[in-house]
Chain A
């Protein structure tokens, strides 16, 4: 296989930076994406408000928390792995996947860094803008009831940091699996067709998981996608606290490790298959 090389982070950092910079150039896209998401958030909140207005007692979390959940979701939407990295799809179409074998790098790590750069570049500007709009401007306009509230207490704030890191790591791990399937099957659209509904529903992006019928609750809380949205957000407004929060973090971490391990295995097998086929 490959000769052992001293590990250097430079190529991975370079990949991250290159992608990050490229995405920043699309400034109008960032602004427009932000405006779109404001709207999405607003519609979701209006729907919640209508239902809460009828029968608030039936809800598993308060309206204020539901509102915060929605804004958090919009702010961090770019971190949700609802499609495979489009650059991989592009590489598949142009036949460039094989080139990665020629680089003296760990392929999984390289792709991971690239995808992470892509996700964060899209997330950071929008999250910052969303924080400004939903977190600061709304309360200033007297619409504090519909605002993105800060974490509920010090414990929640502190626990949210690892939850956020883990949700990002998990998101990239999920996307990596999708990327590998796309590269191996050469079928980007097919992979996205399966991935999107799965992730949107089971992460809690469509609705917080507790809104689904109660009978499903135990299963919904344990599956891997819960760590993408539902768990970290509920930690944020202390719906998950103390031991339950730590369990949530453990679930996120556990699934991340599992998916990364699976991903590395799948990557190795795919690369080996490419070698045998001659790329």
Chain B
């Protein structure tokens, strides 16, 4: 029995229109116009306990709307949702006691309170049994290396520190499901790595079900086996990432470092994607030109210092995917 069930989820908003300029502002005093926005137009998927799912899509695709509906904040226009047997927006108090939610760049902790005081207050709010709370808290503090930050007011923390504290805060009450809405946005590289590592451990070692929305494709690469791409309020694909990639590009990338300036390469089935001072990035289809043959062909004619083969960069895969499905930013 899946832990999370989403069926034919739809959500439509009415938005007021505003004309620009002074004349428009004055006109706005008298008459208003509305238009309908279809944020979600039939989304279906399900999640088993302990799964980790990445939700990606261009801005305005409906990712945040889905997360809000799943967490019980928002009521859909139509469709069915069940999380752990509960309908999120109908059983709000019971439902939110079982989930943790982290919004990127927004902290639920109290701005002026020291981190530890915020944790204690949350424990009271979530009615966590004191001994259990202390154990859980110490465990999370150790995992996220929050020890030196505990006495500082949240407003004094850097964004990376705040997000680590935020993760701890979201998990103090031991939820079995974690929703992450753009959790690494704005973080520096070490913090992103720390967050990804933490989420991976949480999912693999503690079996927490994770649903993650993100724009950062490296989050996807690091964490997700399963990816759902949303565009214009619809599911475009629901598959492991490799399947998605294969559906977009059959090509591979060859990165060649030359001893001198890179040559003008004219080879059949090979496209130059980028040119550096002493390097080239080439796209080719290994089905047409096997990789060793291509390397040998180039090395035979030019002074090659180093070669490196890889999949196309993940951002390109996704961008191309959006293009193919006409799913660019709404």
Chain A contact residues, CB within 8 Å of chain B: 17, 21, 24-25, 27, 30
Contact = CB atoms under 8 A, between A and B. Distances in A.
B29 A21 contact: no
Contacts of A21: 21-22, 25
B26 interface: yes
Contacts of A24: 22, 25-26, 29
A30 B22 CA distance: 16
Interface residues of B, number: 7
Nearest to B32: A27
Nearest to A27: B29
B313 interface: no
Interface SS of B by simple majority: helix
B85 to A, nearest CB: 43
14 contacts: A17-B22, A21-B21, A21-B22, A21-B25, A24-B22, A24-B25, A24-B26, A24-B29, A25-B18, A25-B25, A25-B28, A27-B28, A27-B29, A30-B29
Nearest to A31: B29
Interface of B: 18, 21-22, 25-26, 28-29
Nearest to B21: A21
A95 to B, nearest CB: 14
Contacts of A27: 28-29
Given A21-B21, A24-B22, 10 more contacts: A17-B22, A21-B22, A21-B25, A24-B25, A24-B26, A24-B29, A25-B25, A25-B28, A27-B28, A30-B29
Contacts of B22: 17, 21, 24
A40 B21 CA distance: 33
B34 to A, nearest CB: 16
Nearest to B28: A27
Contacts of A30: 29
A25 B29 CA distance: 8
Nearest to A25: B25
A279 B72 CA distance: 46
The CB with the most chain B CB atoms within 10 A, among A17, A25, A30, is that of: A25
